Amino acid sequence: MLQQTQVATVLGYFQRFIERFPDVHALARAPSEDVMAAWSGLGYYARARNLHASARAIVEHHGGRFPQTCEALARLPGIGRSTAGAIAAFCFGERAAILDGNVKRVLARHWAIEGDPAGSAVAARLWALAQRELPSARRMAAYTQAIMDLGATVCTRVRPDCARCPVQASCLALRLNRTAELPTPRARRARPVRSAHVLVALDAGAVLLQRRDPRGIWGGLLCLPEFASKAALVRRARALGAGGRPLVPLPPRRHALTHLTLAIEPYVAVTDAPGSGVESGSSRWVALGKIDQAALPAPHRVLLEEVRATFGLRRGRRG
């Protein structure tokens, strides 16, 4: 949960998650829909899918006991080399290196390593340095925590507090007055914008949702139907029985993702055709009064909360 998410945001989610799934067996047994619902709102949903898949792999292939080596840990879904190293160091005292963003910054400055840390050649040099600097096994947990905290609290991205740094005497970036230049910043690319015409189809106090394919944006979550054009959205609304009523446009909004920005244009359609609420395939009707428990991405949850308040629909006949 703490990968790319702040501690203050995670705390409540973490407590609720471990209450719902107290051990690896409970998580492995849980339906994916329950896991995604517990994660809903945290973003980066591949983390939840990988966590669930890892729990099942641990139960199926390791008898429910967590692997104890960096090599075995790295074979679990979603656990990369650095995360595997951190777990192995903290939990089992293995002399395994880590290379998260904070550690990359510390090593790049301390040894004045030029170039994009995400590039393969620079990353290889940083991994070699990270491995070379490891202490004895009995000090691994303390060292791993220390180097991460050094980057998070002292060797910060902007205005590092070099006067408090315990390794300032040997820091090449400080000696060369290059702490502001290193590590080399990544070239920023313009984030593309993608239009998303979103249909809020209402029927008897319920809304039509579709489960996304596990791959791609919001994979595995329940989402409002999305279309590449308004014309396609109108055709779908008519097929649901909203042909005799005008679509109600809602204020457009934008949602920034890691690699693109969604320009969301939502339209409400009230349907009343016989059988329009029948579930089929990945689609289902969910009562607006129950959307708080559904596995929804944050922008769709906010949108449905607005619809519920605007249209005064709090209870529906559907489940």
In-domain check, residue 124: yes
Q: What is the pLDDT of residues 283-301, one digit of tens each?
A: 889 999 899 888 899 999 9
- Tokens 């429910």 locate to 64
Which residues, 6+ apart, have CB-to-CB distance to 25 below 8 Å?
59, 64
Q: What are phi and psi of 89, to 5 degrees?
A: -70, -45
User: Same structural domain for residues 205 and 290?
Assistant: yes
Listed residues 139, 170, 188: the one ending a domain: 188
Contacts 24+ apart (CB under 8 A), 7-10: 9/42, 10/42
Average pLDDT of the residues in 299-310: 92
Q: Is the pLDDT of residue 78 over 80?
A: yes
* Domain extent at residue 301: 193-311
- pLDDT value at position 161? 97
Which residues, 6+ apart, have CB-to-CB distance to 203 below 8 Å?
240, 241, 270, 271, 272, 276, 277, 285, 318
Average pLDDT of the residues in 251-255: 95
In-domain check, residue 56: no
In-domain check, residue 1: no
Q: Can you give the CATH number for the domain in which 125 is found? A: 1.10.1670.10
Distance CA 164, CA 168 (A): 8
Number of domains in the chain: 2
- pLDDT band with cut points at 50, 70 and 90 for residue 280: low
- pLDDT value at position 1? 92
Q: Is the pLDDT of residue 56 over 50?
A: yes
- pLDDT band with cut points at 50, 70 and 90 for residue 133: very high
In-domain check, residue 80: no
Q: What is the pLDDT of residues 138-185, one digit of tens each?
A: 999 999 999 999 999 999 999 999 999 999 999 999 999 999 999 999
69's tokens: 């080596």
User: Same structural domain for residues 219 and 254?
Assistant: yes
- pLDDT band with cut points at 50, 70 and 90 for residue 202: very high
Q: Can you give the CATH number for the domain in which 242 is found? A: 3.90.79.10
